[in-house]
Amino acid sequence: MSKPKFSVSQVTTFHQTFEEDVDVYAKAGVEGVGIWEFKLPEDRDDAGVLAALKASGLKATTCIPSTLSVFPVPFPGPDDHEERVVELCAAIDRFAPFEPAVLLCLTGNPPAGMDAAEARSIIVDGLRTAARRAAGHGLELGLEPLHRGYYGDWSTVYTIPEALSVIDEIDEPNMRLMFDVYHLADTEDVLADTERNAGRLARSVHICDKREPTRNDFDRALPGEGSIDLAGIFGAIEAGGGAPEWVDLEIFSDDGSFTDMDFEDSLWKQDPFEVIRRAKAGFDAAWEARTAPG
């Protein structure tokens, strides 16, 4: 397995503009940018930011729509699942000119009282529609399982087997598993599941680290500065024949922007160049230390 290229998801530099992001990332020696739709122009005239991306030499990696799930999540967006699928597909069309490695999606959380089989059918049908729209652009759609403890109202899938069960039911060749180390690192049998299914991963993997103790849902650490066994995860991916092209640094670090908890040591308050430098060094060290599962 070749070493994945390093990318930075734009939520990591939450308060910068798109243009500021690509300028700082390029200066930091980063090769890719994980684009969030909220960083694109509100008038949907993307010509300027697309030109800025091309001029920077960066490649689009994991792109994240503003409406990214079939059922609602605690982000702004419609409640109706049909409207949400329409918005998800519109975002896929919008991202297509950026030629991303993968477009991220979630299941969302069905309304209380909805029959589980009905909710599953709605999720599968909605994500199948989105996958087909992505395929029309030659793009990959990645379903991300989320951490059960912190994100129980965001998803119906929390582990690799649960996510793959949905992907298998969708049955579209461009539908892949979006692996996020933060959400999967402490799931049962994660290294075995990762090795067994490494060939089904999306082209990009989300990386960060887990702060101990974690103070809220938006309190991540930089790679190598927390408790996640990144070396073990990279070793499991390699042992299973996985070959993601990118690792995409995704940092939520609350400064009062998401909740009423304003952390004095928030990474969002620190110099973006230095944050990226430390993160890249942590990834490099974890990659060099990677070990195959026992």
Tens of pLDDT, residue by residue over 217-229, are 899 999 999 999 9
CATH 3.20.20.150 for domain 5-288, yes or no, is: yes
Tens of pLDDT, residue by residue over 6-34, are 999 999 999 999 999 999 999 999 999 99
Residue 181 pLDDT > 80: yes
Of all residues in the chain, what percent are helix, strand and coil, respectively (each to 5)? 40, 15, 45
Instruction: Please identify which residue in the block is written with the tokens 């899938």.
Output: 157
Tens of pLDDT, residue by residue over 42-69, are 999 999 999 999 999 999 999 999 999 9
Instruction: Please identify which residue in the block is written with the tokens 């951490």.
Output: 147
Retrieve residue 146's tokens: 């989320």
**Any idea where the domains of the chain sit in the sequence?**
5-288
Rounded distance, CA 258 to CA 125, Å?
A: 31
Retrieve residue 148's tokens: 């059960």
